[in-house]
Amino acid sequence: MTRPFEGIRIIDVTHVLAGPFAAYQLAVLGAEVIKVEHPDDPDQTRDSGTDRELNRRGMGTSYLTQSSNKRSITLDLKTEAGRDILKRLVQRADIMVENYRPGAFAALGLGYEVMSEVNPRLIYCSISAFGQDGPRGNQTAYDHVIQATSGLMATTGTVEVNPIKFGSPAVDYATGTMGAFALASALFQRERTGRGQRIDLAMLDVAMILMSSHLTGYLRNGAEPKPSGNRHLHATNSCYAAKDGLVMLGASNLRQQRRLWRALERPEMVKRTNEEREHDRDREAALLTDIMQTRTADEWENFFQARHVPAARVRTLAEAIRDPQFATRGVTHRHRSTAGVDGAFEVPLAAFKFAHGGPSIETPPPELGADTDSVLAEHGYNADQIAAFRRTKVI
């Protein structure tokens, strides 16, 4: 069954996380993605990750995460020949994605105006820290810097210990996912209009969208969100210590809190409104603190889930991966081997399934420049020209 983006060609001139992850989302759904890197200064994720030997080989786990189903070529875009090659690639492409400092590609003669003349149907996506305009437009940042800038850090942590950054680069991956959504939308729009598109995607904007309800609340009445750690506004929607670990209760709505108190044989604690819950929070929390210490975390999880009350033992990543549920969902793909990596390894695939024609991985992450010769040959360059490019360090 044909996948959604088969026949779509993407020129991926991105590095680190957000940009490569955006292209990766379309790659697992069938798009042909040609990743472009500088021959002497490749994507920094190639030497980043948990396996130092792979880092030294330029196949770090951070790179492996989002490079399956891609082809790799090298180009020095500071050379005229390198820029000409990129323009030839773009002539036959549907999408070009770049995530360098705003203005950098325009200064090279590779900005949207130039590339849209090369290919009027081109969808040109620029991903940056703060956007292509505004007083911060020329500034650069990474995930944790955006967390600090946006207010996300200030809402994370406890009353005593804050601000705290997220444990994962969530803004980067959210930006990549938003980028994939924007690209898919632009492709759909092009089917109706025949016109290409310019996408300006900013990590800061994504971070603000991640705080949407906080944003609306603050803009309404100035109620600034405060870090509350594992303590929710409602006691039945918070974290408690069990005999051997922590349990996160998720009795969020009125029906669920009713089920929780009745399951604990404390029907007098049931509230009719959320305002009543807020007013009685301290008393509820003190009672739950005592009750939750009477069983293990696993026992409580099973107890509440059997009674349709959301609850879970707080797990480590290793424990979450060992959970049988993870194995049934097909979130990752196992590569048996690839050049530059000894043995098998697993990478994320997608967070959803299709009944047919869904996300899949066919090829492993390539070594730097592994497809340069074949891609250039497909675009009309002969063996002598490719050899000359290599001698002059264009590729």
- Determine the residue type at 240: Y
What's the confidence (pLDDT) of residue 256? 98
Q: At 109, give phi and psi (nearest 5°).
A: 80, 25
| Whether residue 342 lies in the annotated active site | no
Cα angle for residues 120, 175, 170 (degrees, 5° grid)? 165
The pLDDT value recorded for residue 117 is 98
* pLDDT digit string (tens) for the chain, length 395 residues: 799 999 999 999 999 999 999 999 999 999 999 999 999 999 999 999 999 999 999 999 999 999 999 999 999 999 999 999 999 999 999 999 999 999 999 999 999 999 999 999 999 999 999 999 999 999 999 999 999 999 999 999 999 999 999 999 999 999 999 999 999 999 999 999 999 999 999 999 999 999 999 999 999 999 999 999 999 999 999 999 999 999 999 999 999 999 999 999 999 999 999 999 999 999 999 999 999 999 999 999 999 999 999 999 999 999 999 999 999 999 999 999 999 999 999 999 999 999 999 999 999 999 999 999 999 999 999 999 999 999 999 99
Tell the CATH superfamily of the 9-210+328-391 domain. Answer: Crotonobetainyl-coa:carnitine coa-transferase; domain 1 (3.40.50.10540)
Within the chain, all domains assigned CATH 3.30.1540 are found at 235-314
Nearest to 260 by CA among 237, 280, 242, 283: 237
Exactly one of 76, 94, 172, 371 is catalytic; name it: 172
Q: Give the CATH number of domain 235-314; options: 3.90.920, 1.10.287, 3.30.60, 3.30.1540.
A: 3.30.1540
Distance CA 15, CA 309 (A): 43
> Which pLDDT belongs to residue 54?
98
Tell me, what's the pLDDT at 1? 74
CB 123 within 8 A of CB 190: yes
CA gap 82, 393 in Å, rounded: 9
Nearest to 126 by CA among 163, 83, 96: 96
Residue among 59, 63, 67 at smallest CA distance from 28: 67
Domain(s) labelled CATH 3.40.50.10540 in the chain stretch across 9-210+328-391
Upstream peptide bond of 324 is cis (omega within 30 degrees of 0): no
Strand bridging mode 123-128 / 95-98 = parallel
CB-count exposure of residue 122 (10 Å: 0-12, 13-18, 19+): buried
